[in-house]
């Protein structure tokens, strides 16, 4: 997350980089900003006609409370440019929402806080991939088969998905590629989705390697980190890897607590 935040700040020095023939490798800061800034990313999804939980970015507490009342509790408060959902909280009533907004404003002082509808009785699905700006390779679709506790990394996951239809998987792959190309990603990415009543909703897109990529690489027999590193250095994705079949087995990831 620190590297992502620095990449955004480096955009201020673009003119200097051009004059000195220096360049930043990988996904550029403007793209990272468009993904990490909750307001900009939500607006991008709307522009691409991709479903997401109903959202708004508001500065005044009274406006936030009115919006929450309009869409109905519970609501999710989501700061921008934070790692692992720092200061992200669910509010079930106005009193809790006021308290959560105070916390979020301290963690994300200079960036927008987005309020979204919080979905209950839904399931999470993740997608790990690499893009070279033109070709997008989806390493795996990961189904959460047991809900997370504190963090999505706590969830028990299955590769490939065991209870999701092929139509939904195909749609998820199509949406993931559309997002990756729209953000001009050059490197690894992870996109998280909600599945509710047969519809996919985008939660977020991380323009970096995810915790699940090593597992995906072992499962697929394809080193996603190596592909990502080569893409960052300027190589194109080899089209041949698209034809590498998945194994005839299921990989399960379970959390282990010490």
- Compute the mean pLDDT over every residue in the chain, rounded to the nearest whole number: 87
Going by C-alpha positions, the residue among 250, 128, 247 that lies closest to residue 189 is 128
Q: What is the CATH number for 191?
A: 3.30.470.20
What's the confidence (pLDDT) of residue 183? 97
182: tokens are: 């729209």
Q: Which residues of 178-208 are buried (b: 16+ CB within 10 A; e: fewer)?
A: ebbebbebbbbbbbbbbbeeeebbbbbbbbb
Q: 146 with 96, same domain?
A: no
Structural domain count of the chain: 2
What's the confidence (pLDDT) of residue 14? 64
Q: 129 with 155, same domain?
A: yes
Cα–chain center distance at 28: 16
What's the confidence (pLDDT) of residue 81? 57
Q: Which of 22-36, 61-75, 97-111, 161-175 has the lowest mean pLDDT?
A: 97-111
Q: Percent of the chain at pLDDT above 70?
A: 85
What's the confidence (pLDDT) of residue 174? 98
Q: 184 with 243, same domain?
A: yes
Structural domain contains residue 210:
yes
pLDDT band with cut points at 50, 70 and 90 for residue 20: confident
Domain boundary, last residue among 64, 85, 117 = 117
pLDDT band with cut points at 50, 70 and 90 for residue 250: very high
What's the confidence (pLDDT) of residue 245? 82
Who wins on pLDDT, 165 or 25?
Answer: 165
Helices 61-71 and 94-107: crossing angle in degrees, nearest 10, is 130
Q: 113 with 130, same domain?
A: no
What's the confidence (pLDDT) of residue 228? 96
Domain boundary, last residue among 69, 101, 117 = 117
Q: 73 with 134, same domain?
A: no
Q: 135 with 98, same domain?
A: no
Give pLDDT tens digits for 110-160: 566 788 999 988 999 999 999 999 999 999 999 999 876 666 777 899 999
- Determine the structural domain holding residue 174 and report its residue range: 123-253
Structural domain contains residue 92:
yes
Structural domain contains residue 131:
yes
Place of tokens 């729209």: 182
Mean per-residue pLDDT for 45-60? Answer: 91
Vertex 144: Cα angle to 142 and 149 (nearest 5): 135
Mean per-residue pLDDT for 77-100? Answer: 77
Q: 247 with 142, same domain?
A: yes
Q: 128 with 240, same domain?
A: yes
Q: What is the CATH number for 85?
A: 3.30.1490.20
At residue 195, the 3 state secondary structure works out as: strand
Cβ distance 61 to 136 under 8 Å? no
Give pLDDT tens digits for 208-234: 888 899 999 999 999 999 999 999 999
Evaluate if residue 109 carries a pLDDT over 60: no
Structural domain contains residue 87:
yes
pLDDT band with cut points at 50, 70 and 90 for residue 107: very low
Give pLDDT tens digits for 164-198: 999 999 999 999 999 999 999 999 999 999 999 99
Structural domain contains residue 157:
yes
Name, of 26-35, 233-242, 243-252, the range with top average pLDDT: 233-242
Q: 134 with 203, same domain?
A: yes
Domain boundary, last residue among 98, 117, 136 = 117
pLDDT band with cut points at 50, 70 and 90 for residue 92: very high
Evaluate if residue 199 carries a pLDDT over 60: yes
Q: Cis omega (within 30 of 0) on the bond before 160?
A: yes
Vertex 156: Cα angle to 150 and 157 (nearest 5): 125
Strands of the 136-146 sheet, one edge to the other = 199-206, 186-196, 123-132, 136-146, 156-159, 251-253
Q: 193 with 130, same domain?
A: yes
Helices 38-47 and 166-182: crossing angle in degrees, nearest 10, is 120
Give the global pTM. 0.86
């Amino acid at each position: 997350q620190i590297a992502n935040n620095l990449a955004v700040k480096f955009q201020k020095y673009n003119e200097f980089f051009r004059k000195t023939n220096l360049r930043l490798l990988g996904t550029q800061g403007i793209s990272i900003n468009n993904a990490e800034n909750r307001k900009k990313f939500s607006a991008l999804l709307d522009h691409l006609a991709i479903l997401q939980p109903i959202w708004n970015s508001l500065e005044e507490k009274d406006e936030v409370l009115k919006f929450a009342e309009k869409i109905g509790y519970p609501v999710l408060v989501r700061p921008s440019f934070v790692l692992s959902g720092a200061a992200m909280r669910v509010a079930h009533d106005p009193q809790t929402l006021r308290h959560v907004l105070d916390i979020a404003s301290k963690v994300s002082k200079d960036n927008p806080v987005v309020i979204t509808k919080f979905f209950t009785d839904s399931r999470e699905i993740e997608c790990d991939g690499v893009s070279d700006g033109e070709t997008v390779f989806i390493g795996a679709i990961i189904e959460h088969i047991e809900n997370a506790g504190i963090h999505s990394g706590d969830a028990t996951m299955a590769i490939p998905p065991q209870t999701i239809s092929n139509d939904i998987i195909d749609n998820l792959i199509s949406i993931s590629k559309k997002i990756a190309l729209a953000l001009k990603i050059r490197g690894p990415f992870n996109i998280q989705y909600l599945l509710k009543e047969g519809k996919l909703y985008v939660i977020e897109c991380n323009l970096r390697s995810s915790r699940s990529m090593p597992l995906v690489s072992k499962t697929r027999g394809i080193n996603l980190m190596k592909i990502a590193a080569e893409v960052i250095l300027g190589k194109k994705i080899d089209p041949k890897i698209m034809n590498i079949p998945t194994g005839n087995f299921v990989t399960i990831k379970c959390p282990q607590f010490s």
